[in-house]
Amino acid sequence: MSDRMPYSSDVGDEQWALVEPVLTAWKAGHPSVSGHQGKYAMREIVNAVLYQNHSGSQWDLLPHDLPPAGAVKYYFYKWRDDGTDQTIHDLLRWQLREKRKRLADPSLVVLDTQSIHAAVGVPAATTGKDAAKWVPGRKRCLAVDVLGLVIDCVVLPASAHENTAGIALLDGVAGQCDTVRKALVDQGFKKKAVDHGKTVGIYVEIVERNPDQSGFVPQAKRWIVEQTNGILMFYRRLVRDYEHRLTSSRSRVLWAMTSIMSRRLTGATLASWRTA
């Protein structure tokens, strides 16, 4: 650990012990051509990514006692593109599921989408307007297990239909977990998503809303994905989509869940930005 004063978003010693083996192996597999070992510790790079996720800071406004934006960007983009962020996320998810006395991979997932406003400067070609919710921006699509842990995440323009999101999520889930047999969705998903589920071996059940209910009423089991969407809102970088690339938006979700799961595994807590 560095000599600087810690931030609340930093990984503690126990949390770092969960992540460190992956990044040590990654570092060993990516030696510098010049033999240089790198100026910045991997732990501090992770701390900078998590600080930005939690605080919503711009790249150029990262605190001076963290590695500079250029170094953090380099690793964030590298880990995004080669799947290291996904590897860390999945390892923690497996460990947390097993800690909760469940198999490493689920048999049931819950799908949902959330339309998020895009920041100024986000390329128009990667955004759209949600016709149902009148939200201009992007659509964050999640598949979660019964613990609310993310199995797959897809980010699309907000104009994308729920069927498009559902098909992409079903493909992602089937590609990662051959154990999933059933997916619960809301009424926004239609026959195309249901039919596509059959092609990948996943039965898609549309959970019907009780017509006698008005306002927001949590639906059995489906509320879990709503809870995950709510938890992600504690990470201010995710409240609005600031990323130029859809893959970067997805990586932000993986890093937020990595922070959440590492803390659940070690019993640590993280203060909400809503807390006075």
Torsion angle of C-alpha atoms 102, 103, 107, 113, degrees rounded to 10: 70
Give the model's pLDDT for residue 215: 57
As its CATH architecture, domain 104-210+217-244 has 2-Layer Sandwich (3.30)
Distance CA 255, CA 248 (A): 10
What tokens were used for 138?
């992007």
Lowest mean pLDDT among 27-31, 90-94, 224-228: 27-31
Quote the percentage of the chain above a pLDDT of 70: 91
Inter-residue contact 15 to 263 (CB < 8 Å): yes
Q: Domain ranges for the chain, please list them.
A: 104-210+217-244
Residue type, 220: A
Distance CA 207, CA 114 (A): 17
Give the model's pLDDT for residue 100: 96
For the segment 87-95, the average pLDDT, to the nearest whole number, is: 98
CB atoms near residue 229 (< 10 Å)? 18
Measured on CA atoms in the order 154, 7, 98, 23, is the torsion positive or negative?
A: positive
Q: What is the pTM of this model?
A: 0.92
